[in-house]
Structure 1
Amino acid sequence: MTQGLALALLLLLLGLAIAGPSGLLAWNENLQLRDQRHAQIAALTEERDILKNRVGLLDPNSADPDLVSEKLRSDLNVLHPDEVVLILPTQD
């Protein structure tokens, strides 16, 4: 009887080691999720660097005149009467 229970317990543990939530079958899924997370982190890091650069260009002590002009025109609708604005599609 005890040998039967021990065998059943070992088979249960073996089943969990193969098909459990952290078993061999879930290993591939975990690797795919890890790769997706690394890709997301890389994309977010690139976006953060772009935004960090823009913030640096808008620094009040040394603002980039072209970027300030662009922001004024787009956000506040500020134009000179003799200016013509051409809006080009951005490439994302």
Structure 2
Amino acid sequence: MTRHPLFDLLSRAALPAACILVAAYFLSHATFGAAGLLSLGSIRQESAALQARKQQLTAERDAMQRRIDLLDPRKVDPDYADELVRQQLGVVRPDEIIVPLESEKRQPIR
């Protein structure tokens, strides 16, 4: 029994066609996928936003660390301790004037 020429053509083309379909699948994901070329701009924007947030959190952490250092039992800053006590207890007389200082200007007393 002889094979039909169309069947021979289809059997020879099946493997290349499957390879082309697999390559097209991966190429489409590389272009249009969540991490593809078309979403590269939004990924860069998100990365920049995350870097800015990281810098903000680092600055907040550093400010907290400075405040913690001011309360170190070996070298407590009396002005900062007084400020915290008054703030927590609500012990401010009506005739007092509170002048907030920048935290950078405070130096612990040694």
Give TM class, smaller chain.
0.7 to 0.9
Identity of aligned residues (%): 31
- C-alpha distance in 2 between matches for 1:87 and 1:65: 16
Question: C-alpha deviations, 1:27-76, integer Å up to 9, x for none?
Answer: 22221111111111100010111111111111122111111111111112
User: Which one of 33, 36, 45 corresponds to residue 32 of structure 1?
Assistant: 45
Q: CA deviation at 1:87?
A: 5.2
With structure 2 as the length reference, what TM-score do the two structures score?
0.66
Q: Which has the higher contact order (CA 8 A, sep 6+)?
A: 2
In structure 2, the gaps of 5 or more residues are 1-12, 101-110
Shift of 1:88: 6.6
* Equivalent residue, structure 1, for 2:17: 4
- Coordinate RMSD, CA, aligned: 2.6
Aligned in 2, Cα 1:69/1:44: closer, same or farther, shift over 3 Å? same
Partner of 2:64, secondary structure, is helix
SS at match of 1:49: helix
Based on CA coordinates, which of the two structures has the bigger radius of gyration?
A: 2
Runs of 5+ unmatched residues, structure 1: none
Aligned residues: 89
